[in-house]
Structure 1
């Protein structure tokens, strides 16, 4: 079974690797990084789809499905479980969704191994040992994807325990951010005005604030609390409804249970939803302000503009999930919006770092002779 699963991971990585190899782009390493980033974004979206369709236990063991490498071989076991409980966590459809998610994850793992191997080779062959081919980040990516795989396994074996599933989501977003930084390091960027150096702290804070909001959103999703407040902007007709923060934000507990094993009260779900909703206003204001500031800096205008557009769109999709009773497609798009915001803020942080370099370099002195020759 393990060998068959390894083959499935190689097959999942075969098409993107072939695309990179056949590309006319002379810088195939850069192409490989960006293709891997794109597939990691797709994996996050499909992971959200897996979670939101309640398919996380479609195959209740790991790494295979009832001891097999694919649902076809495990069809008898899956059918028996579905017959016993038609609306339960194990169905044929949910098993395929879960295993496709695992195949994609293995494919991304293979691509990251390829990035690490090629990065080390290029760094050893490079005469200037430039930071572009520094193997530190690719190696960290490999370690990180192994940790992410472990949390993926624990997600199943610990029966969707909310804190494990939320950490799994955060690790996926961090992996995406690391790939974005590596991709930015391979790409050419327009010169950034030295004024952009002043945005380095706000850009870092914005990324931290967004990470907190993503964690809160993951906590809402993994505790099945998106519809705990059915109205907006109020919750149960109140600005501050009855809430149980102690049970709602107790991290180490089973799904749907309190730390003592009792059923989680609805007021705890309300507290989870309400906290995510209220913090969203702060994220909207801070990121929009940062985008506005970035639009005034030469070299950061497109990034700032897209930040404003995307954070407003993300806020609107969040509200729409309440008004439209949490439709699946909109909920997946909302997860994708969080990933795109992460990418944009990583790029903004990278560009402000370039501005710091620009600010630290001595300004060229132009003499009359230089101006004449120009």
Structure 2
């Protein structure tokens, strides 16, 4: 039975990552209205007429439906056969975030939402993926949170600040996409040829996101240096913070590529997808570090 539980936990994480990626594709291709105002049908049909936008949107809905079934099975298996409280919390969080996300997606189709609300949709997908990833890790060696050395209070505070601030930066990035503001800053690292451009309209939105991303890099650099200073090189805090730093660097580079590819549709779409997927890895590592701080010297 443990083999089946692990399999479904892994499928849940893979499925949530796929939902996140496909959601980014829907946004980038502006296919959210590909099925009109109908939900769960697509333009009044169970099998929609073939158009690119309807195919993308309906495929996204189909994947969400399949993954939801996987999550329900995983939820049953975990509560029935797994005694660890963290596994139950993780699967519950995954299911809850997925349901809220699905309801918000349906509401956005029937009743058009503001960009502020639509940006939250990606944030919920990210939380659902993080919960599913943590659940998957429970059934690996990384699910053993026992430590020989206490985690310093200052590091715990920094870790939690980093994950919350990362979520804010992600939300700003989603807001940039949903307000179609990517073209507000032409060029990188300068914005429209200026160090500090006029902070209005799309330019202001993109520039604020860029500054927030730089501050996130500084924050994670400090987190890694603190981990490296106080813990052994093999410690999971050091490994996790190192990978978080690597991912935030990749996120910044991919953001630059998104800017450089504006005007080239295929390259812009691909770069935007990669940009969205990298942040999943970044947020996942930060969430894992925070879990380590919660279970510091706690017994199951």
Normalising by structure 1, report the TM-score.
Answer: 0.71
**What is the Cα deviation at residue 176 of structure 1?**
1.2
**What is the Cα deviation at residue 339 of structure 1?**
0.8
**What is the Cα deviation at residue 194 of structure 1?**
1.8
1:266-345 matched pairs, under 5 angstroms: 268-296=201-229, 297-298=231-232, 299-300=235-236, 301-325=238-262, 327-345=268-286
**DSSP 3-state at the match of 1:232:** coil
* Alignment partners' CA distance in 1, 2:278 and 2:86: 28
- Which residue does the alignment assign to 1:163? 116
* Alignment partners' CA distance in 1, 2:96 and 2:245: 34
**What is the Cα deviation at residue 327 of structure 1?**
1.4
Q: How many residues align?
A: 288
2:149 alignment partner, one of 166, 191, 194 = 194
* Alignment partners' CA distance in 1, 2:57 and 2:174: 18
2:25 alignment partner, one of 37, 43, 49 = 49
- Which residue does the alignment assign to 1:98? 57
Q: Are the aligned partners of 1:220 and 1:273 in contact in 2 as well (CA < 8 Å)?
A: yes
* Alignment partners' CA distance in 2, 1:140 and 1:308: 26
Cα distance change, pair 93–207 in 1 and its aligned pair in 2 (3 A): same
Given the alignment of the two structures, is residue 209 of structure 1 paired with residue 165 of structure 2, yes or no? Answer: yes
Q: Are the aligned partners of 2:94 and 2:127 in contact in 1 as well (CA < 8 Å)?
A: no
1:62 alignment partner, one of 39, 54, 60 = 39
Given the alignment of the two structures, is residue 122 of structure 1 paired with residue 76 of structure 2, yes or no? Answer: no
**What is the Cα deviation at residue 347 of structure 1?**
1.2
Q: Are the aligned partners of 2:224 and 2:245 in contact in 1 as well (CA < 8 Å)?
A: yes
Q: Are the aligned partners of 2:220 and 2:241 in contact in 1 as well (CA < 8 Å)?
A: no
* Alignment partners' CA distance in 2, 1:185 and 1:178: 11
Structure whose CA Rg is larger = 1
- Gaps in structure 2 of 5+ consecutive residues: none
- Which residue does the alignment assign to 2:293? 352
- Which residue does the alignment assign to 1:227? 183
* Alignment partners' CA distance in 1, 2:182 and 2:260: 11
2:68 alignment partner, one of 92, 100, 109 = 109
Deviations 1:161-205 (A, max 9, x none): 312321111111111122233333333336545253442211111
**DSSP 3-state at the match of 2:34:** coil
* Alignment partners' CA distance in 2, 1:329 and 1:96: 18
**What is the Cα deviation at residue 235 of structure 1?**
2.1
**DSSP 3-state at the match of 1:357:** coil
- Which residue does the alignment assign to 2:85? 131
CA RMSD of aligned residues (A): 2.3
* Alignment partners' CA distance in 2, 1:282 and 1:132: 31
Deviations 1:78-100 (A, max 9, x none): xxxxxxxxxxxxxx011101100
Deviations 1:193-219 (A, max 9, x none): 525344221111110010000000000
Cα distance change, pair 210–63 in 1 and its aligned pair in 2 (3 A): same
* Bigger Cα displacement from structure 2, 286-295 vs 222-231: 286-295
Cα distance change, pair 107–291 in 1 and its aligned pair in 2 (3 A): farther
Cα distance change, pair 291–38 in 1 and its aligned pair in 2 (3 A): farther
Deviations 1:275-300 (A, max 9, x none): 10111110011112213333452422
Q: Are the aligned partners of 2:95 and 2:128 in contact in 1 as well (CA < 8 Å)?
A: no
Q: Are the aligned partners of 2:5 and 2:74 in contact in 1 as well (CA < 8 Å)?
A: yes
* Alignment partners' CA distance in 2, 1:26 and 1:130: 13
Q: Are the aligned partners of 2:94 and 2:129 in contact in 1 as well (CA < 8 Å)?
A: no
